[in-house]
Structure 1
């Protein structure tokens, strides 16, 4: 009976081809792979794998973007996450361009970033609740003259944000994304007056924005290319208003347009009731 054994030299060849040496990857590819990780993962574990990865993680270019939004970060307390974030900011050596903080942001941390990241172009803050104040945000953005994108989501400070001051301090702002309530149309008026260069505007799940605020935005932000009003069920969008929006803006999303699960939540019964009424009025 013929033998089915694999020659030793062939087995050795297959073994070497199926187990590549990660240390032989070019530096730029390894750097790109490591940048896919959360800063917590990089600083706690990845950089400790070997001296080669350690040296790559020391490069300030690795830290131009700091995105700390992973739900798994919650295994660490806010103080530890804040310290890790500060360390990552220091590693950027002043070259930080984009930072997105979720869950643990506070006034002191944002000021720490502001003092060390004058080149910041994109800032994202999500679910920081009472740890971050309007005063803290305004104090920080005064040191971000190059800021082009601002995202504020599910934060209690949203109904107090002074968009007039942000507009004056950040004249290059092109993209503004807001998830949550305004107190009234006042903030829409501020955006319209002080942010005329906006190209992209998202106002999501806002139950206080009215037609007056929308008209102010359309009249003041004439360069808008996209306008997202999903979840803004207090608006009364007639056919003429929708026609104007579609003529003025390339990408226009209505209150009832579909939204990702992470955004489209109706934990607020008043918001759910308003949505049902809004749908009923449209269908009738």
Structure 2
């Protein structure tokens, strides 16, 4: 049995809940940044920055994008979207990118774009990126003077001349792997 007093109390509680801000908005900015950094650049670019104004502001911090990992299997179906998102992430970091991984998408043009804007890149991993040529890999490595790790996985053939070129232009390389179908 309902009394007249319960309805106003419930309405007041609903109004209070609607007017209060979500608890994550009250977190300190460094804690929010730590949480967002754990979900990675892909999720920050595609969804986290759309949650609220606070998260949007935190997601604009270039420090959150020093490591970019776009290796989700869903990217294979959305090459254009992920290439554009990848470019935005690289632009956002303002030259401070140190670790970059992509998988299932990419092109020579995208890699040139990244290499031109990432002078501090130390680790590069290209996984199942069939549209990135061995010639391009050798050419971009020459632009990445601080590169220490290069991993090319499940690739079409990279010629021995391209492998030699990579070795010759990258004196700081400490770790290199290349495997493929052939």
TM class, shorter-length: 0.7 to 0.9
Deviation, 1:25, is 2.4
Partner of 2:101: 100
> Secondary structure at 1:150's aligned position in 2?
strand
Alignment of 1:116-195 (within 5 A): 116-129=117-130, 131-159=131-159, 162-180=162-180
Task: For 1:161 and 1:106, locate their aligned partners in 2 and report how far apart those are by CA, in whole Å.
Answer: 20
Partner of 1:30: 32
Partner of 2:60: 58
Partner of 2:19: none
Q: In the alignment, is residue 112 of structure 1 matched against residue 113 of structure 2?
A: yes
Deviation, 1:93, is 0.4
Aligned mate of 2:74, from 69, 72, 81: 72
TM-score, with structure 2 as normaliser: 0.81
Deviation, 1:68, is 0.2
Question: Measured at CA, do residues 85 and 160 of structure 1 come closer, stay the same or move farther in structure 2, by a change above 3 Å?
Answer: farther
Partner of 2:43: 41
Alignment of 1:219-258 (within 5 A): none
- Bigger RCO of structures 1 and 2 (CA < 8 A, at least 6 apart): 2
State the structure with more CA Rg. Answer: 1
Displaced runs of 4 or more, over 3 A: 157-161
Give the number of the structure whose residues are more often helix, by fraction: 2
Task: For 1:172 and 1:147, locate their aligned partners in 2 and report how far apart those are by CA, in whole Å.
Answer: 6
Question: Measured at CA, do residues 157 and 83 of structure 1 come closer, stay the same or move farther in structure 2, by a change above 3 Å?
Answer: farther
Task: For 1:161 and 1:105, locate their aligned partners in 2 and report how far apart those are by CA, in whole Å.
Answer: 22
TM-score, with structure 1 as normaliser: 0.53
Structure 2's unaligned 5+ residue stretches are 1-21
Task: For 2:74 and 2:129, locate their aligned partners in 1 and report how far apart those are by CA, in whole Å.
Answer: 16
Task: For 1:158 and 1:140, locate their aligned partners in 2 and report how far apart those are by CA, in whole Å.
Answer: 14
CA contact (8 A) 1:68 1:102 kept: yes
Task: For 1:160 and 1:133, locate their aligned partners in 2 and report how far apart those are by CA, in whole Å.
Answer: 13
> Secondary structure at 1:109's aligned position in 2?
helix
CA contact (8 A) 2:63 2:93 kept: yes
Task: For 1:161 and 1:107, locate their aligned partners in 2 and report how far apart those are by CA, in whole Å.
Answer: 18
Structure 1's unaligned 5+ residue stretches are 1-19, 183-284
Query: CA-atom RMSD, angstroms?
Result: 2.0
